[in-house]
Amino acid sequence: MSLAKIGYARTFSRLLSNGLPRLQSAIPPAEPGHDLATDVSSGRPLVPKPKPSDPRPVRFAMSNLNPDVMSNWELERLRIVPKLATFYGGNPVHEDNMNQLNALVRKYKNLPTRVLDEKELKAYKFVSLEDYRKRAQSGTRLKIGHHKELLELLNRLRSIEPELMPKEVFEVLQKYSSASEDKKQVVQTAIKTLDKYGRANTVGKRKRAVANISMVKGEGLVLVNGKSFLEYFKRDIDRSKIGYPFKVVSQEGQYNVFITTEGGGISGQAEAAMYGISKALVVFNPLFKSRLRLAGLMTRDARKVERKKPGKVKARKSPTWVKR
């Protein structure tokens, strides 16, 4: 053994012999009922031996954050949770928007859609690329392709039939509308529904005739101003106009119709009632609208009698020319 090691050993033993009595004198007396450890040679402080009946520290306790959930208090800690699930992506706000729009498309994919014509696409514009970059707070990281993806999903949602468009889809379309469209205060078209008695109340017009329609599920009864439509309309062509909307959607004999007409002539009143019945059928089932539109029943015939001009016998007829 080297001299250095011998010197270290002597120094350590000297310190131990001088400090051990001092340590033992500083130990408090044992409490009654507790036995002290007798290992004095180790030089460690004496610790009372725990009783078998002493409660052990509870590892799982009630959480301080949520008292209804069991939590490991030793591992519980506060941490910052990102607000967006896409926080660690390249464009977190844009990716979160795309996830929401894709979820809406999947949710309402079975609703009937329509083809958006070019005129309608130009009339209503969504948020521009520059404005969307400000909303997404992405700057130049948001590319033109990202903006095109957004517009494709928005146009897909806008192609849903207006009568069947859910409220949340309409609110999303309003959210992404451009600033100029916001100033126009575009509001959703009021969709008519059945009243508390289960009736569809609509109005049809033709020339100067106006027909108020009240339709309800029934056996096929049709009354016009309190009379049967067979009694009120004498001509077969006028009677066929009343039943034409039901024939288009194959719903003959399924509804009771109460018609109140005024103004115009008999043929004008018949066509006014025809248009009003078509609107009432759409109230009962919005899916009938496409078939009725193809039959020309959803667009009112706006033609009217042309006025008489001065110097003419009628609207366009000139007086008979006489040589003398």
Rounded CA-CA distance 104/92 in Å is 19
Rounded CA-CA distance 174/171 in Å is 5
Residue 278 has pLDDT above 60, yes or no: yes
Give me 119's structure tokens.
């005129």
Burial of 211 (0-12, 13-18, 19+ CB in 10 A): buried
Q: What share of the chain is helix, strand, coil (3-state, %, to 5)?
A: 40, 15, 45
Residue range of the domain that includes 220: 200-294
282 located within any domain: yes
Residue 10 has pLDDT above 60, yes or no: no
Are 146 and 218 contained in the same domain? no
The conformation of residue 287, written as its DSSP 8-state character, comes to: G
β partners of residue 224: 227, 259
Are 105 and 178 contained in the same domain? yes
Are 211 and 243 contained in the same domain? yes
Residue 115 has pLDDT above 70, yes or no: yes
- Number of structural domains (the chain) is 2
Would you place residue 140 in the very low, low, confident or very high pLDDT band (cuts 50, 70, 90)? confident
Residue 274 has pLDDT above 50, yes or no: yes
Residue 40 has pLDDT above 80, yes or no: no
Residue 87 has pLDDT above 70, yes or no: yes
Min mean pLDDT across 94-108, 133-147, 171-185, 214-228 is at 171-185
Question: What pLDDT does residue 218 have?
Answer: 92
Question: What pLDDT does residue 163 have?
Answer: 77
Q: Which of 181, 101, 84, 174 is nearest to 137 (CA)?
A: 84
Residue 78 has pLDDT above 90, yes or no: no
> Mean of the per-residue pLDDT values for the chain?
79
Q: Is the pTM of this model over 0.85?
A: no
Question: What pLDDT does residue 185 have?
Answer: 44
* Average confidence (pLDDT) over 63-87: 62
Sorted by sequence, the CB contacts under 8 Å of residue 141 that are 6+ apart come out as 90, 91
**CATH number of domain containing 281:** 3.30.230.10
* Average confidence (pLDDT) over 68-88: 64
163 located within any domain: yes
Residue 189 has pLDDT above 60, yes or no: no
Overall residue count recorded for the chain in this entry: 324
Are 140 and 212 contained in the same domain? no
